[in-house]
Amino acid sequence: MLQKAMYAVPMLRASAALTLVFLVAALAQWEGVPSDPSSVAGGGDGRGDGMREIVRKERLPYRSRQKRAWIWNSYYVTEESEMISPKKIGKLKSSKTADGTTFKLRGDGANSIFTVNRNGDLFVIKTLDREEKSMYNLTALLYDGRDQLVEDAGEFVVQVNDINDHIPVFPRTYNGSILERSGIGAKVVQVMATDADDPSTVHAELRYSLRPEGERSAFEINIITGMITSRVDTLDREDKSQYVLVVQAKDMRGMTTGTTATTSVTVTITDINDNMASFTQDTYDLSVPENQMLEEKIGTLTLDDRDEIQNNEPVFTILPNLSSQFALSRSPQKDGHLMLKKALDYETKSSYSFIVNVHENSLQFPADNKDVSITKARVNIRVLDVDEPPVFSKPSYAFNVMEEEMATNIGIVSATDPDQANKAMRYSVEDQECPVGVNPVTGQLFILRKLDRELRTTHIFQVRAQEEPSGLHSLVRVNISVQDKNDNAPELVWDDIFVCENDMAGTVIGRLSATDRDEQVASFHYSLVNPSDNFTITK
């Protein structure tokens, strides 16, 4: 065994030397250097000299990329292929293949999805799905019979070929909108489907169309982009406010062999103001009581407008101009509310008749209903008579009465019935303690007891006028001013007066004053009741 081993070593060395010579010769040819050892510098003709020169050159610090010895084509596997047994997809080849060499794999799916036999036959052993993984990166290695690496890594790729095994998918249903009367080609909404097949193949190239089971007469779709547009310019929300389309997406560029998916698209027609406000009748008859409160609705002029309420903008005009008596305003429902601005009086005017016009300023097109709309209506108002309370001739009364006198004719308060019945009046004083009375038939005021201006200067009370026999009544205020007369004597006012026994004649020893409760400004005259020789008083 030792001898065989010793014999084997020179053989290996010789083999290595031959391999080295081959490689150096190949390198020389690659770089343009003569491959004949005899032509190498040094002029030696012996093989030993040439080999030494080659070995020397091999040790120079010159580096060159060694050409790979692997030989193969690209490998492909069709997805979803049924794998009853391993399927050969190609063959690994190397110029260094010899008896006893074997191939091994490393990388994506090595030995679990892909296998190789000793001859380099490459097999796939599982069904592949391109949508899960479309490419496998593998490395081939060549080993000799002693499991020594003969050729280092050779990288290659197995690509999974796509088949049309996925149908298009719409992510949802769609909703779109378009203004009525939009032009041809107006955009509505864009739909988009996806296909999990290879996007670089026709398997994932989609074409869109509108299915006949949808309401497609007014719309069309771009077969490539899926944009839905209007194909007419006569969309009318008032005739049809919503359309439901059925969109189909088909792969294989729409060919008959393609697979399909559908989705629904609900298209809402958006309203514009293209209908004129119209009265629902050409005559409106209203009855209004004469005591109707001002600034309150007395009637409604109903309108018909097929547009949505936010697009209703009616404007009213009263002819002839009765704007001081009546007014029209828009109700929340966009009808016309007739309002009373000035009080009615049945006895003065019992009826009104006038024309009301309606129009809209914001119409965007000639109105759809321009030939049938009622834009002018007559309003007839009948004023209803109301039993009104008596009306006094004045809003209040004021009289003067001399104090301390029993006046029998202070003045007259007068009220009438404003109604056509013109009922008789009966008068009375509301305050039972009042010193003034009233004639119940004539309204004449008189004094019940004498008045004293110094006790009370003014008397205010209310007089009631009531329709006979027991009808409505009204009250009016009466103000009685008591007039003054000189009916009060002056009253002296003084302080204590003292006199000294030695006061000279003419000395002022005190001052007297007087007051008078009467209203008039008084001038007083002073005198001594009993003349005296010792005292005097100035007048």
Q: Which residue has the higher pLDDT, 173 or 495?
A: 173
pLDDT at residue 73 greater than cutoff 50 = yes
Q: How many CB atoms lie within 10 A of CB 278?
A: 19
- Least confidently predicted of 317-326, 427-436, 514-523: 514-523
Contact between 481 and 458 under an 8 Å Cβ cutoff? The reply is yes
pLDDT, position 518: 65
> Could you tell me whether strands 135-143 and 278-279 are parallel, antiparallel, or unpaired per DSSP bridges?
unpaired
- Least confidently predicted of 64-78, 284-298, 413-427, 464-478: 64-78
| pTM exceeds 0.75, yes or no | no
pLDDT, position 99: 82
Helix axes 47-58, 2-31, angle to 10 degrees: 70
Contact between 28 and 38 under an 8 Å Cβ cutoff? The reply is no
% of the chain beyond a pLDDT of 70: 84
Q: Which residue has the higher pLDDT, 516 or 178?
A: 178
pLDDT in tens, 140-185: 999 988 888 987 778 899 999 988 889 999 999 999 999 999 999 9
pLDDT at residue 36 greater than cutoff 80 = no
* Mean pLDDT of all residues in 70-81: 78
Strands (E), 22-162: 70-71, 75-78, 87-91, 93-94, 102-107, 114-116, 121-124, 135-143, 149-161
pLDDT in tens, 235-251: 999 999 999 999 999 99
Q: Which residue has the higher pLDDT, 143 or 12?
A: 143
pLDDT in tens, 310-340: 999 999 999 887 888 999 999 999 999 999 9
